[in-house]
Chains A and B, each alone.
Chain A
Amino acid sequence: MKPMIVILKEGTDSSQGKSQVLSNISACQAVAEAIRTTLGPRGMDKLIVDKRGKATISNDGATILKLLEVVHPAARTLVDIAKSQDAEVGDGTTSVVLLAAEILKSTRTFIEDGMHPTIVIRAVRKATALVTEKIREISINIKKDDAKEQKLLLEKCAQTTLNSKLIARQREFFAKMVVDAVLMLDDLLPLNMIGIKKVTGGSLEESRLVAGVAFKKTFSYAGFEMQQKKYSNPKIALLNIELELKAERDNAELRLDNVAEYQKIVDAEWTILYDKLEKLHRAGVNVVLSKLPIGDVATQYFADREMFCAGRVQDDDLKRTQKACGGAIVTTVENLDEKSHQIFGTCDLFEEIQIGSERYNFFTGCPRAKTATMILRGGAEQFIDEVERSLHDAIMIVRRAVKNDAIVAGGGAIEMALSRTLREYSRTVAGKEQMIIAAYAKAFEIIPRQLCENAGFDATNILNKLRQKHAENNIWFGVDITREDVSDNYASAVWEPAIVKINAITAASEAACLILSIDETVKVPKSSSEISNAAKAMNMD
């Protein structure tokens, strides 16, 4: 009898070979299954409750996958591409996962038949390159010089994205809002210059876009209500100072041996605070914002001198205000005087306004940088959260489209066109790759197919119609959700930026290749101690 040689730790699971590839493919299929129904305008939402009992209702592929806590190593790849699609273009997270899973599914038979994975991978890579080339070729560029035309285009793109979301019915309203917000920004289109604030209550249509900065009224002390709440052209001081009567040093101790000094120390403490306040007052500041608390004494001091103050302003709000109104966040008031203009910000109008049951500080007409704030209203917290996610997607798409003005038609049209191109190409290839490329071509049909299935249409019927249209060179024909038919989606303005598709296809193909190239997983068993578990969890994240 041969002695057994133990190389790996006991309990290590090491499956390998062809069966491993196949089992990985099944796992990916299962993940795609979980978000399959969220695709398209008739896609459904998922309600996911986490361990702490927090409920999330979402239609966004990346969000759902993140919350599902996938542990299977191969399946995690799909989660990662959804995340990367989210980070890169913001939308199309569901389709990227579906596409990857479908590519795997269609190549599965070849693996089962004993074809070597590397051949499959090579063919997939080749096809991907071909497809991206094709998208670039057929995508339509919209002239940028006509501002009105461009805006129309952007709104169409935003609407296509929002179509599958909860706010589909209000898509025109929100698309306009998103485009206005993005166009308010400067050329770099920094995302953090669009603030999104959520106020529960009110209906969706009461959401509004503010050209400037808005944030919730901060905690205030007695005396706040006596301050003036509206200024035009205010001088705004942005501070990182605590304006409160307090011990200057926390762990210092004073030792007095004379009663007369007692009063002096009290006075000294007051003077420190009053000096700061007076400096601000004398510099002609109207609005004081600070990251740190502004105490009751300061509040009342400002109220007496017709100045407005807000303490404990959130960091990003303060930064946005600074970018918008100019000025600098200062940590000392020592050198402030009327001449230090560059330190103070300004805007056309500052006002405190009641929204729902909350009060908001508005800074509008900011001269320096361009910012926008969206104030979302809605019936429930989860509702607004989902609206925020949807708008985030739309904003990302619009930003992409501004920078990159090539568009393609959505609703499955571009996928069908690509599928046809690949099929035709495959016939010119000799060898094993022919079949793989043909299979890859078929995988693209998953998008229109799923759109139909989610809407309850007869997918086979619609796909046949689409194939026929595309064979006649009507490249923009896609699924028409409203009429249960096919239609020219370019004409009916279902548009998506080409870059979104290119990114989705590349990411999906790469993920598929990656999964196909794995032939062995070595899974070290969980050790009993909690610490190593935690460490592993961290590594996974």
Chain B
Amino acid sequence: MPSVGTLAFDEFGRPVLILKGQESKKRLFGIEAHKSHILAGKAVANTLKTSLGPRGMDKCMVSPDGDITITNDGATILSMMHVENEIGKLLVQLSKSQDDEIGDGTTGVVVLAGALLEQAEALLDKGIHPIRIADGYELAAKMALEHLDKIAESYPLDLKNLDPLINTAMTTLGSKIINRCQRQMAEIAVNAIMSVADMKRRDVNFELIRVQGKVGGRLEDTLLVKGVVVDKTFSHPQMPKEVRDAKIAILTCPFEPPKPKTKHKLDITTVEDYKKLREYEKEKFSEMIKSIKDAGTNLVICQWGFDDEANHLLLSHQLPAVRWVGGPEIEMIAIATGGRIVPRFQELSADKLGFAGHVYELDFGTTGDHMLCIEQCKKSNTCTIFVRGGNKMVVEEAKRALHDALCVVRNLVRDNRIVYGGGACEIACAVEVAKQANKIATIEQYAIRAFADALESVPLALAENSGFSPIKTVSDVKSQQIAQNNPRLGIDCLNTGTNDMKTQSVIETLIGKRQQISLATQLVRMILKIDDIRLPGETDE
């Protein structure tokens, strides 16, 4: 009886209610609970398995309101699947936290966790205590991490020669839909990071890189703008479409006579008063224009709007202007051009203006859409990646892929140690962990061996997705690794003829891999430690 322990009987054999709504509550206990967790975990991991690697497939997700997303990014898939099961939710968070921290390897981490759970099931059947399994896993994870550190190689990080970095970015992009222009995208990602990276602090501020997308054109038209791109146009069609050596006034006040914030009412009783008001407004407008002109501005960027009258005045004073620019963009422009954000006209002065060498409108085919590019800024350490693509889904997926690539490059800037991908480092760790397992005297030995098997799930999935016979391929690579003592051998997913990942330059960051292993292990421990689930039943209320 699953609910043993929550029922008590009084002297007449009537059950006594102890918990609120006890009859309707569901409870799973002991080995049943473990089995149900593992089943849920495996189910989630299996969904993602086919998305792994360069031959991985995409998933198409339709949201409740009919929006379609096509992606093979693990974190995105899981977050859109709306997993209901509690254990499933834990896995979703697992991939999310990998995404937050590393940005890449979100699929791999879930596949690994799923494999660990699967192995745990077999061990539970043998009658091993779940906590000892978890202990064994953690011991094994420690061994694997130590081995990873050992086989990791330091990677040349040279500003003049970006090729190695581009190769890494290409590994990440290899599994994505945009691998058609893999090289180009990788270059864009590397260049973007390099232009904002702070090499001294080894830090990259992602807020300085914006990724914008626009449907239309081809993927190949994607470009990196070293500056800012805003989805806005000049406010008046007759304004010049291009400004060179722009001195930019960045305003956060509306182009209209200032109004008090306090609720107010102006009583106009006579015609004279009305005329005065008219005069006043006119005067204000010309004052504003004058202050802008006096500061030496030749481009106005405004967070708020301005009406036709102001627009006309600006045009007649040869002041190109952009209106309704959002807060974050205003900030980007200010940082890029070295200008200051000005909250009211009185404060405008020459030293608060930003400078950009070239500001122009970008046209797109025949759609009549325009975007504003601000380039050659004074402090050009912001950049915008402008993604083009045939349809919305492709553009969105390309954005996600670029995000992954950017993260990988950033991680390399932070820590330039790398390991080889294509399952190479997983196999190497598995071999090492299996070797060490024999030295352990306690029951944990079994768990450690199981961990080694679980590590192989990643190369297995890679091989399977690439259409090879998974077991044969992996065991081939494994025997080669041991024979040649070469931890760089992996699965040759793309059939290039060699399985040395160094020649193929399939590279992953060390911190990414470390993170995958330790996160997955810790989460599996948490799942294994639960032996009792209580769910509220359907309430009648």
Chain A residues at the B interface, C-beta cutoff of 8 Å: 15, 19, 22-23, 26-27, 29-31, 33-34, 37, 41-42, 44-51, 55, 57, 59, 68-72, 75, 166, 169, 200-205, 221-226, 245-249, 251-257, 259-260, 262-263, 265-266, 268-270, 296-297, 300-301, 303-304, 354, 356-357, 378-383, 386, 455-456, 482
Task: Flag if A300 contacts B526 (CB, 8 Å).
Answer: no
**Do B20 and A253 touch (CB < 8 A)?**
no
- The answer to whether A257 touches B534 (Cβ under 8 A) is no
- In the complex formed, the residue of B with least CB distance to A69 is B20
**19 A–B contact pairs at CB < 8 A?**
A26-B9, A33-B5, A34-B6, A41-B131, A44-B131, A49-B534, A57-B526, A70-B19, A72-B16, A200-B93, A200-B96, A203-B514, A205-B518, A247-B263, A259-B266, A265-B264, A301-B343, A303-B340, A380-B97
Digit string of B67-111 for contact with A (CB within 8 Å is 1, else 0)?
Answer: 000000000000000000010011001101111110000000000
By CB atoms of chain A within 10 A, which of B9, B100, B205 has the most?
A: B100
The chain B residue with its CB closest to the CB of A383 is: B526
Given the known interface contacts A224-B331, A259-B277, A380-B94, the answer about A252 and B262 at a Cβ–Cβ threshold of 8 Å is yes
The chain A residue with its CB closest to the CB of B89 is A55
Q: Which residue on chain B has the smallest CB distance to residue A357?
A: B100
Residues of A contacting B529 in the complex (Cβ-Cβ under 8 angstroms): 44-45, 59, 166
B18, B265, B526: the one within 8 Å of A31 (CB): B18
CA gap between A227 and B522 in the complex, in Å: 38
> Which of A29, A47, A224 has most chain B Cβ within 10 Å?
A47
Which chain A residues border B257 with CB–CB below 8 Å? 262
**Chain B residues whose C-beta falls within 8 Å of the C-beta of A269 in the assembled complex:** 260-262
Chain B residues near A71 (CB-CB < 8 A):
17-20
Does the CB pair A68–B534 fall under 8 Å?
Answer: yes
Q: Assess A297 versus B129: contact at CB under 8 Å? Given A44-B531, A166-B529, A265-B262.
A: no
Q: Are B265 and A254 in contact (CB under 8 A)?
A: yes
Q: In the assembled complex, how far is the CB of residue A303 from the closest CB belonging to chain B, in whole angstroms?
A: 7
Q: Is the CB of A201 within 8 A of B97?
A: yes
Q: Are B262 and A248 in contact, CB atoms less than 8 angstroms apart?
A: yes
Over the window 1-37 of chain B, the binary record of Cβ atoms lying under 8 Å from chain A Cβ atoms (1 yes, 0 no) is 0001111111100001111110000000000010000
Instruction: Say yes or no for B65: interface residue by CB 8 A criterion.
Output: no
B153 to chain A minimum Cβ distance, whole angstroms, is 22
Complex Cα distance, B9 from A15, in Å, reads: 13
Cβ–Cβ contact B8 & A296, under 8 A:
no
Note all chain B residues with C-beta closer than 8 A to A75. 18
In the docked arrangement, what's the CA distance between A456 and B522, Å?
Answer: 23
Q: Given A44-B130, A266-B260, are A226 and B334 also a contact pair (CB < 8 Å)?
A: yes
Pairwise interchain contact B265-A222, C-beta atoms closer than 8 A: no
Identify the closest chain B residue to A202 (Cβ): B101
**Cβ–Cβ < 8 Å partners of B363 in chain A:** none
Q: How far is the CB of B120 from chain A (nearest CB, A)?
A: 14
Q: Is B533 an interface residue (CB 8 A)?
A: yes
Given contacts A33-B6, A262-B257, A304-B340, 18 further A-B contacts (CB under 8 A): A27-B16, A34-B6, A37-B532, A42-B131, A47-B534, A49-B86, A55-B89, A72-B17, A223-B331, A224-B331, A247-B260, A255-B267, A262-B280, A266-B260, A268-B260, A379-B94, A381-B93, A383-B93
- Asked if B530 lies at the interface with its beta carbon under 8 angstroms from chain A, I say yes
Question: Shortest CB–CB separation between residue B289 and chain A, in angstroms?
Answer: 17
In the assembled complex, the Cα of A300 lies from the Cα of B279 at a distance in Å of 32
Q: Which chain B residues lie closer than 8 Å to A246 at the CB level? A: 261
Provide the bound-state CA to CA distance between A35 and B518, in Å: 29
CA distance A201 to B5 in the complex (A): 37
Interface contact A47-B86, CB-CB below 8 Å:
yes
Determine if B263 and A45 form an interchain contact, defined as CB atoms under 8 angstroms apart: no
Q: From A33, A253, A300, give the contact of B252 (CB < 8 A).
A: A300
A383 engages B522 (CB within 8 Å): yes
**Given the contacts A30-B8, A247-B261, A45 and B266 also touching, CB distance less than 8 Å:** no
Task: Enumerate B332-375 residues with CB–CB distance to A below 8 Å.
Answer: 334-335, 340-344
Q: Given A47-B532, A59-B529, A201 and B98 touching (CB < 8 A)?
A: yes
Q: Is B539 an interface residue (CB 8 A)?
A: yes
CB distance from B330 to the nearest CB of A (A): 5
Note all chain A residues with C-beta closer than 8 A to B390. none
Judged by a CB distance under 8 angstroms, whether B203 is at the interface is yes
CB nearest to B536 among chain A residues: A51
Minimum Cβ distance to chain A for residue B190 (Å): 21
Q: A248 contacts which chain B residues (CB < 8 A)? A: 262
Are A379 and B93 within 8 A (Cβ)?
Answer: yes
CA distance A252 to B6 in the complex (A): 61
| Interface size, chain B (Cβ < 8 Å) | 84
In the complex, how many angstroms separate the beta carbon of B199 from the nearest chain A beta carbon? 16
Determine how close the nearest CB of chain B comes to the CB of A119; give it in whole angstroms.
Answer: 21
Question: Which 6 pairs from chain A and chain B are nearest by CB?
Answer: A44-B531, A380-B93, A33-B5, A254-B264, A201-B101, A19-B11
Q: Smallest CB-CB separation from A55: which chain B residue?
A: B86
Q: Is the CB of B259 within 8 A of A357?
A: no
Interface residues in B507-541 (C-beta closer than 8 Å to A): 514-515, 518-520, 522-523, 525-526, 529-536, 539
Which residues on A sit within 8 Å (CB–CB) of B343? Answer: 245, 296-297, 300-301
Of A27, A221, A256, A259, most B-chain CB atoms within 10 Å: A259
Give A485 to B499 CA distance when docked, in angstroms: 50
CA distance A456 to B127 in the complex (A): 10
What separation, in Å, do the CA atoms of A246 and B260 have in the docked complex?
8
* B534-A46 in contact (CB<8A): yes
- For chain B, residues 230 to 279, give those with C-beta under 8 angstroms from any C-beta of chain A: 252, 257-267, 269, 273, 276-277, 279
Cα–Cα, bound, A380→B518 (Å): 13
A263 vs B288: C-alpha distance in the bound complex, in angstroms?
A: 14
Question: Given that A46-B530, A200-B93, A379-B94 are known contacts, is A222 also in contact with B330, CB under 8 Å in the complex?
Answer: yes
Residues of A within 8 A of B90 (CB): 380, 382-383
| One of A26, A254, A270, A382 near B16 (C-beta < 8 A) | A26
Complex Cα–Cα for A257 and B426 (A): 80
Kindly report which residue of chain B lies nearest to residue A199, judged by CB atoms: B100
Contacts of B258 in A (CB 8 A): 263, 266
- Tell me, yes or no, whether B492 is within 8 Å of chain A by CB: no
- B9 / chain A contacts, CB cutoff of 8 Å: 23, 26
Interface residue? B125 (CB, 8 A): no
Q: Is B158 an interface residue (CB 8 A)?
A: no
Residue of A with least CB distance to B529: A45
| Distance of A68 Cα from B273 Cα, bound (Å) | 73
Partner of B536, one of A49, A225, A297: A49
Name the contact of A47 in the complex, choosing from B135, B280, B533 (C-beta under 8 A). B533
Q: Within the assembled complex, what's the spacing in Å between the Cα atoms of A433 and B19? A: 35
Nearest CB to that of A32 among chain B residues? B5
- Interfacial chain A residues near B269, Cβ < 8 Å: 257
Q: Which residues of A contact B308 (CB under 8 A)?
A: none
Closest to A44 in B: B531
Which residues of chain A are near B307, meaning CB under 8 Å?
Answer: none
In the complex, what residues of A have CB within 8 A of residue B539's CB? 51
Residues of B within 8 A of A200 (CB): 93, 96-97, 100
Give every chain A residue within 8 A of B276 (Cβ-Cβ). 259
Question: Is the CB of B138 closer than 8 A to any CB of chain A?
Answer: yes
> Is B328 an interface residue, CB under 8 A from the partner?
yes
B534 touches A15 (CB 8 A): no
Q: Does B327 have its Cβ within 8 Å of any Cβ on chain A?
A: yes
Q: Report which of B101, B131, B331 forms a contact with A226, defined as CB distance below 8 A.
A: B331
Q: Is the CB of B523 within 8 A of A379?
A: yes
Task: Flag if A68 contacts B280 (CB, 8 Å).
Answer: no
- Complex CA gap A380/B330 in Å reads 35
A380 to B269, CA, bound (A): 67
Q: Given A72-B16, A300-B340, A356 and B101 touching (CB < 8 A)?
A: yes
- B100-A378 in contact (CB<8A): no
Cross-chain contact A296 with B530 (CB below 8 angstroms): no
